[in-house]
Amino acid sequence: MHVKPARLISIVMVAVALFARAAHAGQVETLIDQLNNDGTDKVRLAAAVNLAKLGDAKAILPLAKALLNDSDKNVRGACAVALGVLVTSSTKSSIKGLVVNNLKSAAENDASDFVKQQAAKALASITGQATAVTNGNNGGNNGGGSGGIYVNIGPMSSKASSANDAKLRALMVKVAGQTLGKVAGRMQTSWPGGPPSKTVLAQKSVSGFYVDGTLNVLTSKVSGGSATVTCKVSMLLADFPDKNMFGFLNGGASVQGASSERDQAMAGEDCVSAVIEDLIAKKIVPTICSKTSASCP
């Protein structure tokens, strides 16, 4: 049978579209399975983030379930954010009602102020109505106050030889600061006039700490239309301003995405962000709190 060129192109385009949809559906199912069943907080967090990016309505119910049941507050917070993105005016009313109820429950009852805030934001996005959130964190990152903790965040570095090294280092600094703001609002990450001297810290009775990190590994393994990006990060913890190191921490994660260069780069950023968040929240902050008698989160 002879097929005209135009007809052949049309057939190929349809085949490509069908393959893309199948690959997308498979990726969504994989991420949902990771969100529901993976024992690693970092993987579940990455799954929630990537489900929000993919924008598939199939993820709504699994995310709503994980919002109330996951053991990690960062994962629960990411689920709330994802629901605020995925639930739209076209979502079935029964599903939207379930999501709203779960978000209200999280905003009122979750043990984490961070999750409460993210749930309230998602509710506002879905319903158009603001929800008040009461939390116990009245601190801030204003700096210069009497007593407390000051954390100086270093410039970060990379040994991964990535074309996006500069962007990734800047991302590491940003995520470190944001995570400290979320989980340890009383820890100051800025100071009027620039980093304080040892004398100034002593005068204010503020304990000073220094945090820096290195991206050691960033690899991508492509299989068919998807890619698995793996990253490993180390972070050091020292006093400030002397920078006498007393802690060295390691973390790693893997994130799945599409195989295009752009999607691999985005997956790399998600991977690095997830590891930095995890190290700051679960290791850096608790270690700092153990080193000082100042008020901690």
Residues 6 or more apart in contact with residue 247 via CB below 8 angstroms = 236, 237, 238, 283, 284, 287
Q: CATH second-level architecture of 148-291?
A: 3-Layer(aba) Sandwich (3.40)
Place of tokens 């030889």: 161
Please provide residue 37's backbone torsions phi and psi, each rounded to the nearest 5 degrees. -120, -15
Contacts 24+ apart (CB under 8 A), 124-130: 125/84, 125/85, 126/83, 126/84, 126/87, 126/96, 126/99, 126/100, 127/100
Q: Where are the domains of the chain?
A: 5-127, 148-291
In the prediction, which pLDDT does 198 show? 92
- Residue-by-residue pLDDT tens, the chain, 297 positions: 444 444 444 444 433 333 344 445 668 899 999 998 867 888 899 899 999 888 899 999 999 999 999 988 999 999 999 999 899 888 999 999 999 999 999 988 888 888 888 888 888 888 876 555 544 433 333 333 346 899 999 999 998 876 788 899 999 999 999 999 888 888 888 888 889 999 999 998 899 999 999 999 999 999 988 999 999 999 999 999 999 998 999 999 999 889 898 899 999 999 999 999 999 999 999 999 888 766 666
- The predicted model scores a pTM of 0.53
Give exposure, 42-77, as e/b (b: 16+ Cβ within 10 Å): bbbbbbbbbbbebebeebbebbbebbbebebbbbbb
Given a contact cutoff of 8 angstroms between Cβ atoms, the answer to whether 243 and 36 are in contact is no
* Shared fold status for 5-127 and 148-291: no
Grouping H, G, I as helix, E, B as strand and the rest as coil, residue 246 is: strand
Does residue 253 contact residue 231 with C-beta atoms inside 8 Å? yes
Distance of alpha carbon 54 from alpha carbon 278, whole angstroms: 23
Q: What is the DSSP letter of 200?
A: H
Look up the CATH superfamily of 5-127.
Answer: Leucine-rich Repeat Variant (1.25.10.10)
b/e sequence 226-265, b meaning 16+ C-beta within 10 Å: bbbbbbbbbbbbbbbbeeeeebebebbbbbbbbbeeebbb
Q: How far apart are CA 293 and CA 121, in angstroms?
A: 34
User: Taking a C-beta distance cutoff of 8 angstroms, is the pair 241, 208 a contact?
Assistant: yes
Tokens for 17, please give them.
Answer: 């579209």
In this predicted structure, what is the pLDDT of residue 199?
93
DSSP calls for 59-72: GHHHHHHHHHH-S-
Residues paired with residue 214 on neighbouring β-strands, in sequence order: 157, 234
